[in-house]
Each structure stands twice: as C-alpha cells, then as structure tokens.
Amino acid sequence: MKFLLFTLLPFYLLSFLPSNLLHASDMKVKLNSTDGSTAFQIRDSNDVVVSSITSDGNIHTKYGVRTSTITLTGGSGNIFSTVTGPADNITLSSHTKVLGQLIVIGSVTVLGELSATTAGTYSIITSSGIKMGAGVLDIPEGAIKDGTITTTDVADRQVSSAKLLVTSTYTYQTGPWNTTANTWSTLGGLTGTLSVTTAPATIFLYFDASTVWRSETSQWTKVGFRFNVGGTSVGYAEAYTETSGGAARQSVGLNAIYRVTTTGNYTVSVEWRSGDDGAAWGTANCANASFSAFWVGSP
C-alpha cells in the first residue's frame, strides 16, 4: 500500500495545478529588463546555453538555425556575424547587415538592402571569381559566356585602351600586276601576319584597288578578289564591266570580318583571279592597291 501511495501521489498533486500551465496555446515568459541584460535560455544536458532570447529581442544560437525558409524583417537589428545555409530560401527584407560571411547553398532574395562589411577591397566575392565593391564590378576572363548577357540600355559604355588589344598590318603597292590564271593566287605583295594572342578574336580586313582592267581589246572584263586568313577563304568581290578594252578601267573594294577561336600567327592576304568559277576572262590587270587587317580581342 505504501508503494502504491508514493506512485500515485505525483499524479494526484498535478491535478491541483492550474490548467493553463498544463495546456496553453501561447507560452509567455516575462523578463525583468528591456535592455537585453536578462534572457530566456535553453540549455543542453551539460548545462551549456544553446539558445537564448534577450529582453531586447535578440536571438542567439550556438549551432545556427536550420529551416527551409528564413525571413528576416525589421530594421537595423538584423545584424549577423555569419549567415550560413543550407536553407532552401533566405529572404532578406528591409535592411540586413552581414558583418562576416553570407553563405547560401540554396537561393537568396533581397527585398531591401544587403550590406556587406569586410576588411578587403571587395565586399562581395562569388565562387566564379566575380567581385564587387565600392562601385567596381570585376568580372574575370571566361566568367561571361556568349549569349548569356543581353544589354538593352547601358549608359556610358567605355573600354579603356589598356583592356583592348588591337594589332594591325597594312601595305600599299602600285603594281601593276597581271594574271591569266583562273586559279586563286596572292595579289602582288598584299600580305601580312597577325599575331593573335587571345581567343576568341575578330579579324577585320579591308582592300581597295583604284585601277582594274583587261588587256585584250573588244572583250569584257571580269576579275575576282577575296581574302585568305590562315588558309581560309573570306569574302568575295568582283570587278565586272561590259565596256571593252583597256579604256574600261574601274576600281574595286572589299571588306570582311572573320572570327578565330584559337591563338597563333595568322597569315592574311588578298587573292585574285581572271574570270569567274567557269573560266578565265583573258589577261586581268590591277594597280594602286592597299590592304589592311587588324584583330581585336580582350586580354
């Protein structure tokens, strides 16, 4: 009987406790200060404080907060030494200041202002190497791929000469030259070499000749011109006239753009032939020609 009495006594005494201590929709803890000097604490079995809420509303945790969604609202009170995922979504509302690191494995939505304060030059550094700070956006080579950025309205677009490589070749020769061949060959000495040191790069080519004609009288003139870039034919122009003889002199010009994806030395030249794809058209002549080429790439 004595054993049964001591077993049932705790349950009997609990029946006299107020019901709001046994069942409550809200739990209220009233602290005796408002300046943060007192706190509501949660301790583990070793009596170590793992979480606390101070009387001024600040929350401190020992091992961080794990949840699918973190929403931070309010004013300057949102100050964190480190904010670390893996949260699926972190929403930062109003003004949130991160004094240390902001590490997110999922996604971050900033509805207000996100301020990062570090001792380095850049306040925001991404894993791809993109850095931002003090109005400077530093994008390393290769971080932007073709087709990933669409610019609709960018004011004051500028490229400094130190960041733009332009290497060119130019030649002007009077000639004259002549050919009866229907196969392509280099026109005089209109050739050069471009040393492309970064890729991809764009090669621009320009050619003009003030005088093109055919030697034979009573015959129409047809002469073809093109560029050669490292063994690849680029562009095409044709001097054609239905006026016969040497008096039927005319000018010709050709411009082209060619993109290369590998670095190295590229031989560029102007080629010409008599006639068209069908056959030669007599003896073709050319004089007073200029040729220039240059490439542009980003270091």
Q: Is 196 helix (H, G, I), strand (E, B) or coil?
A: strand
- Print pLDDT tens along the chain (299 aa): 444 444 444 544 445 555 445 555 666 777 888 888 888 888 888 888 888 888 887 777 766 666 555 655 544 445 555 555 555 556 655 556 665 566 666 666 666 666 655 555 556 666 666 666 666 666 666 555 544 444 443 444 444 444 555 668 889 999 899 999 999 999 999 999 999 888 888 999 999 999 999 888 778 889 999 999 999 999 999 998 876 655 578 899 999 999 999 999 999 999 999 999 999 999 999 999 999 999 987 54
pLDDT for position 45: 86
pLDDT tens-place string over residues 176-197: 999 999 999 999 999 999 998 8
Contact 271, 244 (CB under 8 A): no
Contact 198, 214 (CB under 8 A): no
Pairwise CA distance, residues 72 & 282, whole Å: 83
Sign of CA dihedral 159, 160, 163, 164: positive
Pairwise CA distance, residues 289 & 291, whole Å: 7
pLDDT tens-place string over residues 144-169: 554 444 444 344 444 444 455 566 88
**Which residues, including other chains, have CB under 8 Å from residue 137's CB and lie 6 or more apart?**
130, 131
pLDDT for position 48: 84
What would you measure as the largest C-alpha separation in the chain, in angstroms? Answer: 140
Express the helix, strand and coil content of the chain in percent, nearest 5 each.
Answer: 5, 50, 45
Pairwise CA distance, residues 221 & 241, whole Å: 5
Total residues belonging to the chain: 299
Mean pLDDT of the chain: 74
Pairwise CA distance, residues 4 & 294, whole Å: 102
Phi, psi of 242 (to 5 degrees): -95, 5
pLDDT for position 70: 60
Distance of CA 125 to the CA centre of its chain: 15
Pairwise CA distance, residues 135 & 32, whole Å: 46
Beta-strand pair 284-297/165-173 = antiparallel
Pairwise CA distance, residues 212 & 238, whole Å: 10
Q: What's the Cα-to-Cα distance from 108 to each of 72, 93, 102, 289, rounded to whole Å?
A: 11, 11, 10, 61
DSSP secondary structure letter of residue 175: -
pTM, two decimals, is: 0.48
Q: What's the Cα-to-Cα distance from 207 to each of 204, 212, 270, rounded to whole Å?
A: 11, 13, 8
Q: What's the Cα-to-Cα distance from 139 to each of 40, 94, 127, 131, rounded to whole Å?
A: 47, 28, 12, 7
Query: How many CB atoms within 10 Å of residue 188?
Result: 19
pLDDT for position 47: 85
Cis peptide bond upstream of 86, omega within 30: yes
Q: Where in the chain is the domain with CATH 2.60.120.760?
A: 165-297
Domain 165-297 falls in which CATH fold?
A: Jelly Rolls (2.60.120)
Structure tokens at 234: 């680029």
Q: Is 131 helix (H, G, I), strand (E, B) or coil?
A: strand
pLDDT for position 174: 93
For residue 51, give the amino acid letter.
Answer: S
pLDDT tens-place string over residues 47-61: 888 888 888 877 777
